[in-house]
Chains A and B, each alone.
Chain A
Amino acid sequence: MKKGFQFKGLKFLYVVIIAYVVLFFIENENALLSLQKALGILYQLLPIFLFIIIISALINYFLKPKQIIKHFGKDSGAKGVIYALLAGIISHGPMYAWYGMIQELREQGAKDSLLITFFYARAIKIPMLPFMLGIFGLAFTVILSFYILLFALLQGKVMGWLERE
């Protein structure tokens, strides 16, 4: 049966709305401040949403399930791991903004172990590196980045074992 359009996380949104309504009655000022902060975050995310639509559209257009499975699927091998690491490093924006695209890849046959590697490699934020260098120095930044990549690989391995069970 073909899956139709369906909103995800509606119940979760209702819970958050109820939390705001309750907060408005208990602590009006903090509720307004929270709403202000949330709107600020939403405003900052708008260009990232556009970026995600463009990337997703390019993937939909250029990559077919067979190609995705070749890079992220069962027989992807070492190449798939490298793709997962690179994709993690270059991806922008908060993790939750990527959920839709990642779930689409899963439905098309992507391996969970590679997605776990992708998610952890996202801890390396290339646009933020100059900022990190300025605060923590070169040695710290290089060592931390090395361990992030190493543990992204290890997590993928462990997830691979768990997937086989």
Chain B
Amino acid sequence: MKPKKEEQPITAQKAIKKAFLSLVSMMPMLLGVIGLIGIMQTYITPDILSKLFGYNLYADIGTGTLIGAISSGNPAASYIIAEGLLDQGVTLYAVTAFILAWVTLGIVQLPAEASVFGMRFSVYKNLLTLISTMLVAYFTVITLGVFTS
């Protein structure tokens, strides 16, 4: 019996070409995101960030999540900023939400994400991530308190 078309092996050359073209097709979106991150990093400085905290636990978690979501870059940068925020007296709840939102949420990437995956998937993904990030921050610090007290 002749094998179905989708079961036939593709050559290594075709596999590389397909992977390369897939990335190239994404280039306008990637360059747009990178350009926007450059602008965000210029205008949202660590000093501005620290002024937004210090109200109550839930507000701090919300603020941490929001700021993490609009910031972006290497996760190492978020840890360095987080250390600075802790030194300035920002709660661990807020800082945890901040470092988590930094790597899981991306307001800057939203238009690009929706254009690739569709609006429905992007909305579900980001809503679930937003709720999870706030809950993970809350439970992490609560659990840490239980283990270290």
Contact = CB atoms under 8 A, between A and B. Distances in A.
Interface string A48-63: 0100111111111100
Given A15-B32, A116-B128, 11 more contacts: A8-B116, A12-B28, A30-B42, A34-B39, A34-B42, A35-B38, A37-B38, A42-B31, A52-B19, A65-B6, A100-B22
Contact of B116 (A99, A148, A154): A99
Instruction: Summarize A's interface: helix, strand, loop or mixed.
Output: helix
Interface string A1-40: 0000111111111011101100100000010011111110
Given A151-B135, A158-B128, A123 B25 contact: no
Most chain A beta-carbon contacts within 10 A, residue among B22, B27, B83, B103: B22
Contact of B144 (A41, A54, A139): A139
A25 B148 CA distance: 54
Nearest to B82: A135
A25 to B, nearest CB: 14
Contact of A143 (B35, B124, B147): B147
- Report, nearest first, the 6 A-B pairs whose CB atoms are least far apart: A9-B29, A38-B38, A56-B19, A61-B15, A60-B15, A57-B19
B117 A103 contact: yes
Contacts, number: 202
B37 A97 contact: no
B74 interface: yes
Interface string A103-147: 110100000100010011011010010011001100110011001
A5 B25 contact: yes
Interface of A: 5-13, 15-17, 19-20, 23, 30, 33-39, 41-42, 44-45, 49, 52-61, 64-66, 94-97, 99-104, 106, 112, 116, 119-120, 122-123, 125, 128, 131-132, 135-136, 139-140, 143-144, 147-148, 151, 154-155, 158-159, 162
15 contacts: A7-B28, A13-B28, A17-B35, A20-B39, A34-B41, A34-B42, A56-B23, A57-B12, A95-B106, A99-B29, A119-B104, A123-B103, A128-B76, A140-B144, A151-B135
A128 B112 contact: no
Contacts of B21: 5
Contact of B104 (A39, A53, A123): A123
B55 interface: no
A104 B22 contact: yes
Interface in B97-146: 100, 103-104, 106, 109, 111-113, 115-117, 121, 124-125, 128-129, 132, 135-136, 139-140, 143-144
